[in-house]
Chain A
Amino acid sequence: MSDTQSVNDVDRPDSIQVSVVRNRLDHITKEMGQTMLRTARSPIFSEARDFVTAIFDSRGNKIAQTSYIPILVDATPWAMVEFQKAFGDNLVDGDIYMLNDPYQGNNHGPDITIAKPVFVAGEHLYWSVSKAHMIDIGGRGVVGYNPLAETVRDEGMHFGPTKIYEAGRINDGLWSLFRNNLTMPDIVEADFQSMIGAVNVGDRLLKGLTEKVGRERIYSIIDEVLRSSEATIRDAIRVLKDGVYEGESVADNDGLSQRPVRFHVKMTIEGDSILFDLSGSDDQVGGYINSPLCNTASAISLAMYMCLDPDTPHSDSGVSAPITVTAREGCVANPLPPAPVVLCTTAGVEAIVEAATQALAQAMDDRVPAGWSRMFIPNTAGYNPQTGRMYGEMHTIVRGGSGGTPTADGYDTLGSVVSLGGMRATDPEMFELSTPFLLHEYAYVRDSGGAGINRGGLGITADFEVLAPELRSVVWGAGSLSETAAQGRAGGRNAEPNRHVILGTDGSEHFLRPNEFVSIKKGDHFIVNAGGGGGWGNPRERDPEAVRVDVEAGVVSINAARDLYRVAINRDLTINNLATQALRGNDVPV
């Protein structure tokens, strides 16, 4: 029997058909994502892949998802609750809804969720969903980032659940209102179209799948898919040691003050379920790092999945069933409106993930990687005299390394943990083609990876010279302090923090702290140093040959080899065994 052909009996579906349909649903979300990847105008879509595609059933279950950026792994269900509440009784084929209000089912404003109810033979069965980071939603920031925001209203336009297409027709008035509030309306409109393209592709493919499998069977198949995912994750949790574990980390600042912002995670494992409680975090703050619960929960999921067996499913509601995330209202992990929030998806997530992995490491010390370098990058925007057009850029080439793990060195210049290596750096020539900068250097930094048995990935340095008369810039993120540099684990060393400076044409040096506005002029040089990842395990136990190879490649210095790894390297790049033995002492085999 072909698996997407209809059959007559409506008994419990056989496991083979369930397997086939699950693969098919997964495939549909990928085809939706492909549409967005290939058509977007903003680099945030096509290069940073900051979006997610998902399918929900009409009962509100997430049944498939591809999260191109892992931090959106658990961010979609919250919006669906709001859509269901607002329109659930009155859905029409051809409607498309959108929202981006952080206090109504969202993480932060630049991420817009759109959802199309999918009808098969007149019956509402699914939602085809896409959520993506828009380069501009208005507001006074640079490419969406405004570190001086005092409320969410300073961060741009926010829609609660809104009907943007009614029975296949766009609400022109609403759309032009939105456009009129944007600096880069054309790019946003094109990206929005690519999202519409994606949900339409999903709609079409879901109709086809249902017609073949049969309406009368599809829900019982979905139930089996969810049951299977839930069973897998419960098995994975059951092997963890029961108990209460805690972890804590800070973000550098909230933009308005220089005070670090503390996130605290208390994790309770009981049998096959886990409770994460972030109530011990700081009270909500004035600046833009407050993390709505939607974002907090997604950060916790991300931390979990990077520590569990990599094959663990993470794309449907079955997986989230045994995991509860809670935080008291009014704390930085569950703020009340109108606190500003834009930085939560990066600096907020990074602090939460660090805190959560500290807790997880106590329950499963053999799998948890060392810390990753945090994101601290410039956004720039303005008139580009080379193209004669306005531009806006997130400088994604500025990115540090990932942490060493119990079995492997970290990855070099992989970027923030929020993207788990899914964010592609802009090619240097493409960077010069689309922005008014000349790149003078773009290279690894020696000794930037935290020392360990398994070394942290390398960070980079870049030097770009401003070619436009004047540009607006916001440098945003975290990781400029020693406590927010990538942390070592299991005896591994921390990496160096991120350090950025602007060299003026007059020889002035402006050392940048995260989350400030800066104005840059023709001839200025932006010099950025993104730190490496943390090391895993005591560096004195690293294989001396691995240290030698690193020295030969020029990514570890002879001095660091001697002082941190306790390996003596001769000038001809061979290992001095006697000296190494002396350095390491007798307790460590060479």
Chain B
Amino acid sequence: MRLRIDGAAQPDQSTGTRPQWVPVNRRRKELSVEYRLGIDVGGTFTDLYLVDEEGRGEIYKTPSTPHAPAKGFFNGINEIAEAKGQSIEEFLGSVTHIMHGTTITTNATLTGNGAKTAFVTTAGFRDVQLMRRGVKTGNQYDYTVPSPAPLVPRQDIYEVIERTNQYGEQIISLDVEHARSIAMKMKLVEPAYEAVAINLMWSFMNPKHEEQLVEVFADLLPGVYVSISSTVVPQIRMYERGSTVALNAYVGPILSRYLTDLDARLAAVNFTGRLFIVQSNGGVMPPQMMMRFAVNTLLSGPAGGPEAGLHHARQHGLDHLITMDMGGTSFDVAMIENGRVTTTNDSEIQGHRVALPVLDIHTIGAGGGSIARVRSGLLQVGPQSAGSEPGPASYGRGGEDPTTTDADLVLGYLDPAGFAAGKFPLDLAAAQKVMREKVADPLGLSVPEAAQGVYRVVNASMADAVRAITVQRGLDPREFAIIAAGGAGPLHAGPIARELEAPLVIIPRESSVFCASGMAISDIRHDYVRSFPRALDSGSVEEANSILQEMTKRGRQTLLEEDVEEANHRFSVSADVRYIGQFNEVEVKVDSTTIAVDGLTDGFNNRHASLYGFSVPGSPVEVMNLRVQAVGVESKPSPTETPYAGSQPTAAAERGTRKAWFDSKEYDTPVYDGLALRHGNYISGPAIVEQPTTTIVVPIDYVLGCDARDNYVMHRADVTLDEAIALVHTNPSSSALASKDTL
């Protein structure tokens, strides 16, 4: 499937803060066009987004090939080359960067098909990983289901004799002979181990024993992927660190094989540009390093989204954003504050903790496939999903439950014949039937009323998900512009914005390949962390700063090794801080490359107040972890604007009307062809805008316009675009919301 966006261009960067487009590979300077290519291999589709240095974008989609992901990757590239009438070698000759997002590690983890892994730990602590700190996941009252299977089963967990204490003192030296005998024992295991993860007590305070073990295993188990916790995540909390290094070992060999293969295949077609892999923190890394830190790809699926959102919003001078990506089974929300995507160090996959910075993407089970049901007279939508098999009833694949997509169809928002560009007709009668049986009749409503109910309930849960990530941080959703993406996002963005009183919704034209478009413009990012559990005072600060300097130096070296010029290096420093005796830390970012007692303390007090409604100025604080993020800024496309085409859409954009329900009434609703809307065109709700892979619903009292980059903007009809933007800026600030109660 190929969708060329004529004349579409990428918006501006905030002026002066980023370097203009500079071709990285100067050998190809003579070529007229140079591209970067974002390739996002998802479960169903491989999305490709090709962008030239003037920001012209092209969208390609090809079915994924889950059993041989590299095939889908090259199918996509071939398709572009064909579309351009070039050979694959010719086409790749004009590509300077391939930014690749892969879910290969995610899938291996979700399906339990990772590498056969051995886990090595301090004697006496064999079961710490299995215990998962003794917490029941899921519904606390549900004992009908067994506890989740461990990543590494107990028989594959080995104990070595050693002990380091909290000061880094080796109170029991590593018994190397015993360790070698363990390694010999491992050699006999069938099927053979492909990976070894090592996590010793307090290893981040003194990694010597872990490093000695690396030598033992490298010697006796040649070819096996060995990963140690003091390298992957040198921070306090044995379970969290162990879980992270176990995941790294579990997916490391798989990612290594895949990337080695990909690299060879790219070389075979003379690709001389650079390949980068997308990480869970939204940045990219070269393949060689990615293989060592494979765990960093586990949550990278939606990681391109926020970067893309930021890119589009900056053209309107906005850097307070909420990105919403709604697909078939999930609704992913992320928040960007002051141009920074928020990250968390507290995520998990399949119940396994990942203690590394990942984009803070909040996911709820609300998507097109979410099932509606009635219980004791109340309507619930989700979290159960019909997925894509059998899918919504209207898919005609045997789905017998009404879903969000069925409601969208019944309400007239979706065109039964035109869904997915006509390739996939929907069965309206089937949707109406299940809606009547499962929702309308039990509630005593008409079928359209029932469908509106489903639409309202799912929109409200999505609005709650947005509140969860804003209000919980003491922020007001009215201060944010919403970026809506994903196949189903633009169908629901209007009512969600209305519910949240968000003044502005931006819908990127490449909404359906949102992540791939963000990947194409990602920066290189390396996160460094070091545990430093100390009270914050003038003595410890000095020590902390020398550790920070060391980490910064490592970042600088790594970036230089990756050919990033020093002028394009950016370092940001943060510390995980808490009041002495608290059990959870708050990550506090500082504006310099060092920390100071007063600055960090004030920053922490402010952050604590805005997060939790109070702070305790004067109360001593302690540091748990020190963090440095090293960014290698990649050049970005420089923008061009499309010509202003007047407020009235051309006749070519009009597709007639369709009956659709808005606020309990049926309207003859005008339908527009999104691809035919031009810069400046405005339409009033109720209206429906169709693109081949997404549909936008414009509610009553809202208008939708097309901006200078051909993205859509949606806001209330009683304000202009400029006023809507001004509203985002002037709405009550976060500090006013947080009540600062102190005793």
Which residues on A are within 8 Å of B, measured CB to CB?
Answer: 1-5, 14-20, 22-24, 27, 31, 34-35, 37-41, 43, 45-47, 70, 170, 175, 186-187, 189-190, 192-194, 196-198, 200-201, 204-205, 224-225, 227-229, 231-232, 235, 305-306, 308, 310-312, 314, 369, 386, 389, 399, 402, 405-409, 411-415, 420-425, 427-430, 432-434, 438-444, 457, 460, 463, 552-555
> When each residue 428-447 of chain B gets 1 if its CB lies under 8 Å from chain A and 0 otherwise, what string results?
00000000000000010100
Choose, from B250-258, B408-416, B579-587, the stretch at the interface. B579-587
In the bound complex, CA of A529 to CA of B95 (Å)? 63
Could you tell me if B141 and A441 are in contact, using CB atoms closer than 8 angstroms? Answer: no
Given A16-B379, A20-B457, A193-B614, check contact A553 B583 (CB 8 Å).
no
In the complex, which of the residues B141, B380, B445, B498 contacts A310, with contact meaning CB atoms closer than 8 Å?
A: B141
Q: A23-B461, A27-B464, A232-B376 are in contact. List 20 more A-B contacts (CB 8 A).
A: A2-B499, A3-B456, A15-B377, A16-B456, A19-B379, A19-B453, A34-B472, A39-B584, A43-B583, A47-B583, A170-B743, A190-B616, A198-B613, A389-B581, A399-B134, A405-B143, A422-B140, A428-B238, A429-B166, A553-B153
Pick from B131, B443, B468 the residue with the most CB of A within 10 Å: B131
Could you tell me if A190 and B127 are in contact, using CB atoms closer than 8 angstroms? Answer: no
Could you tell me if A411 and B136 are in contact, using CB atoms closer than 8 angstroms? Answer: yes
> When each residue 126-157 of chain B gets 1 if its CB lies under 8 Å from chain A and 0 otherwise, what string results?
11101101111001111111110000011100
Could you tell me if B582 and A189 are in contact, using CB atoms closer than 8 angstroms? Answer: no
CB distance from A577 to the nearest CB of B (A): 22
In the bound complex, CA of A407 to CA of B616 (Å)? 49
CB distance from B274 to the nearest CB of A (A): 40
B residues less than 8 Å from A17 (CB atoms): 456
In the bound complex, CA of A19 to CA of B461 (Å)? 10
The residue in chain A whose Cβ has the minimal distance to the Cβ of B131 is A413
Could you tell me if B582 and A228 are in contact, using CB atoms closer than 8 angstroms? Answer: no
B561 located at the interface, meaning its Cβ lies under 8 Å from any Cβ of chain A in the complex: no
A and B contact pairs by CB, cutoff 8 A, 22 listed:
A2-B495, A15-B379, A15-B453, A27-B468, A192-B743, A200-B741, A228-B376, A306-B141, A409-B147, A411-B136, A411-B143, A412-B147, A413-B134, A427-B133, A427-B237, A429-B201, A432-B165, A439-B124, A442-B125, A443-B124, A443-B125, A444-B130
Could you tell me if B239 and A427 are in contact, using CB atoms closer than 8 angstroms? Answer: yes
B608 located at the interface, meaning its Cβ lies under 8 Å from any Cβ of chain A in the complex: yes
> When each residue 197-241 of chain B gets 1 if its CB lies under 8 Å from chain A and 0 otherwise, what string results?
000011000000000000000000000000000000000111110
In the complex, which of the residues B127, B131, B145, B155 contacts A408, with contact meaning CB atoms closer than 8 Å?
A: B145
Given A3-B499, A399-B134, check contact A197 B663 (CB 8 Å).
no
CB distance from B81 to the nearest CB of A (A): 48
B residues less than 8 Å from A15 (CB atoms): 377-379, 443, 445, 453
In the bound complex, CA of A275 to CA of B533 (Å)? 53
In the bound complex, CA of A20 to CA of B379 (Å)? 9
B569 located at the interface, meaning its Cβ lies under 8 Å from any Cβ of chain A in the complex: no
In the bound complex, CA of A278 to CA of B378 (Å)? 35
CB distance from A148 to the nearest CB of B (A): 28
B residues less than 8 Å from A460 (CB atoms): 127, 131
B residues less than 8 Å from A175 (CB atoms): 743
Could you tell me if B742 and A187 are in contact, using CB atoms closer than 8 angstroms? Answer: no
A residues less than 8 Å from B236 (CB atoms): 427, 429-430, 433
CB distance from A181 to the nearest CB of B (A): 16
Pick from A14, A39, A186, A231 the residue with the most CB of B within 10 Å: A39
B664 located at the interface, meaning its Cβ lies under 8 Å from any Cβ of chain A in the complex: yes
B612 located at the interface, meaning its Cβ lies under 8 Å from any Cβ of chain A in the complex: yes
In the bound complex, CA of A38 to CA of B473 (Å)? 11
Could you tell me if A46 and B583 are in contact, using CB atoms closer than 8 angstroms? Answer: yes
Within 8 A of A (CB), among B534-561: none
Could you tell me if A414 and B471 are in contact, using CB atoms closer than 8 angstroms? Answer: no
CB distance from B502 to the nearest CB of A (A): 12
Could you tell me if A39 and B608 are in contact, using CB atoms closer than 8 angstroms? Answer: yes
B64 located at the interface, meaning its Cβ lies under 8 Å from any Cβ of chain A in the complex: no
A residues less than 8 Å from B456 (CB atoms): 1-3, 16-17, 20
The residue in chain A whose Cβ has the minimal distance to the Cβ of B455 is A16
B316 located at the interface, meaning its Cβ lies under 8 Å from any Cβ of chain A in the complex: no
Could you tell me if A35 and B613 are in contact, using CB atoms closer than 8 angstroms? Answer: yes
CB distance from A34 to the nearest CB of B (A): 6
Given A34-B472, A41-B579, check contact A427 B614 (CB 8 Å).
no
In the complex, which of the residues A3, A43, A369 contacts B143, with contact meaning CB atoms closer than 8 Å?
A: A369
B739 located at the interface, meaning its Cβ lies under 8 Å from any Cβ of chain A in the complex: yes
In the complex, which of the residues A22, A190, A389 contacts B579, with contact meaning CB atoms closer than 8 Å?
A: A190
Could you tell me if A421 and B134 are in contact, using CB atoms closer than 8 angstroms? Answer: yes
The residue in chain B whose Cβ has the minimal distance to the Cβ of A457 is B147
The residue in chain A whose Cβ has the minimal distance to the Cβ of B699 is A2
Given A443-B125, A554-B154, check contact A16 B464 (CB 8 Å).
no
